[in-house]
Amino acid sequence: MELKTKYQYTYFIYPFVVKENKYQKYLLKILKDERFNLKKFEKQKDIKMYQYFSPKLGQLLFSGFSASSKNDTKQNDLPIETLSALLAKNPCTIFEYKLKKDVQGKTEESGIFFKIRKIELICFKNGICFLTLKTNIEDSNLFSDVLNFNYKFRDIQLSKDLLNNFDKIHIQTDIFEDMNKLTEFIEDITGSKFESLKLDIDTERFLTYSYVCIDQQAWGEQKKFHDIEYQFIKFSNFLPADDIVSYENKKAITFSQWKYARIGISKQGITLFTSDAEMNNYTILPDEFENQYLYTYILNLYKMLSLKKLSANFQKSEQVKKVRKQFIEFTKKVWIQDITNDEIGAYFNYNISKVLRLDRLYNEVKNQFDVIYKEFNIEKNHKILKYILISMLILIIFTVLNYIELIK
């Protein structure tokens, strides 16, 4: 019997980098784009997010939590150039895309139809940004369609015609006329790939963040997880439905904090595989996964790319002093801060950090910092010693001259 889904959605995440000296100009471009609104966070409306994140990192991600309505009014009255300058100083700025309400008619051609439910643009002041698209499949409850959709959509940057030609599966959306229009939109928002390629970012593929809740007839009191584990392995490794899975070759780290839910984390993305045998899996957990846990993932990606950027900049001799200051600031304000006191969230964060190998990456950057710091101190000490020797020489000369004067 084919595996059926009760609920599903997938976020596709596209990291990119804006050059720091062009960051304010980039924010100005987005502010002028009528398709985007500046996203505001309200403490009462977003209370779960506010309570989940530690105060310091919550402030880093969601500066809107501290903004009053009076300040918002003043902000709206500012000239757009002034607003972009102010936002460029914020640790993080988030924009949301205004989705159209008109629905494109479906063709008679068979295929997987999907809707884009949300588009956000998340930008940090060091120029590291993330474009996120929330999607869900329409008119299908087949788990195989979820597998194929995730497998194909994440590669739309690889080839504009890939989705329409691969295995005769045609994916359409109700926002853009076709997949080419969608890729053009992505290219327009993300711009040049030059800075991204410097940090070894895969510019041809989305990171994937996917949630699915399957029918309890396949996983519940009467059916054990072991019977469908191969489906979870496909899902967590973003493989197509017809892929023959080798258990030994699975790449994702998997764990569970719930009876009927499994999380898979790999360098390609994160998945949460659940069953409707537990009510929480189609009521509360989907919302938490696309809010608290999603931003936990974004924050870890930001850490990884920030460390890569610091490492690259440490190799530029003309930027050493500036980068030393940035590394110290990153350590104090981001690295040593706990993301959350939530027990499950902390364990989730730990596993993401482990997969992204953040500790190793940080230690590599710290070693660079230590070497440069020692060289800086040696150079500084040499200068001090030089000044001391010059001063002593001058003093000796004056002493000798005074002595000669006395003799005369």
Report pLDDT digits (tens) over 182-197. Answer: 888 899 999 999 999 9
pLDDT band at 301 (very low <50, low <70, confident <90, very high): very high
274 within domain boundaries: yes
Domain membership flag for residue 201:
yes
Which residues are within 8 A (CB) of 279 and not within 5 positions of it... i.e. 6 or more apart? none
Asked, for residue 90, whether it belongs to a domain, the answer is yes
**Pairing between strand 253-258 and 261-266?**
antiparallel
Q: Do 260 and 278 meet the contact criterion of CB atoms below 8 Å apart? A: yes
Task: Tell me the average pLDDT across 344-368.
Answer: 94
pLDDT at 245 (0 to 100): 67
What is the pLDDT confidence band of residue 41, given thresholds at 50, 70 and 90? confident
Per-residue model confidence as pLDDT tens digits over 280-296:
999 999 999 999 999 99
pLDDT greater at residue 251 or residue 356: 356
SS3 of the chain: helix, strand, coil, percent, to 5 = 50, 20, 30
**Own/partner pairs, 47-55, CB within 8 angstroms, 24+ separation:** 48/288, 48/291, 48/292, 49/291, 49/292, 49/295, 52/292, 52/340, 52/342, 52/345, 53/292, 53/295, 53/339, 53/340, 54/337, 54/338, 54/339, 54/340, 54/341
What is the extent of the structural domain holding 106?
Answer: 5-303
pLDDT at 168 over 50: no
Q: Is the pLDDT of residue 21 over 90?
A: yes
The phi, psi pair for 278, rounded to 5°, reads -120, 120
Q: Where are the beta strands (DSSP E) in 168-317?
A: 171-172, 207-214, 253-258, 261-266, 269-275
Residue 404 lies in a domain: no
The stretch 33-38 carries a mean pLDDT of: 93
Query: Average of pLDDT values for 304-325?
Result: 85
State yes or no: pLDDT of 163 exceeds 50.
Answer: no
Q: What is the pTM of this model?
A: 0.87
Domain count, the chain: 1
Residue with tokens 């019997």: 1
Q: What percent of the chain has pLDDT over 90?
A: 58
| pLDDT at residue 190 in the model | 94
Query: pLDDT digits over 377-396, tens only?
Result: 555 555 655 665 666 666 66
Maximum average pLDDT range among 244-253, 290-299, 363-372: 290-299
* Mean pLDDT, residues 231-258: 83
Residue 118's Cβ-count burial label (10 Å; 0-12, 13-18, 19+) is middle
Share of the chain above pLDDT 70, in %: 77
Question: Please, what is the average pLDDT of the chain?
Answer: 84
For residue 158, being part of any structural domain is answered with: yes
In whole angstroms, give the CA distance from residue 74 to residue 312.
Answer: 39
Task: Render pLDDT for 326-347 as a digit per residue (tens, 0 to 9).
Answer: 999 999 999 999 999 999 999 9
Q: Which tens digit of pLDDT belongs to each residue from 246-267?
A: 666 667 788 888 899 999 999 9
Q: What pLDDT does 173 receive?
A: 61
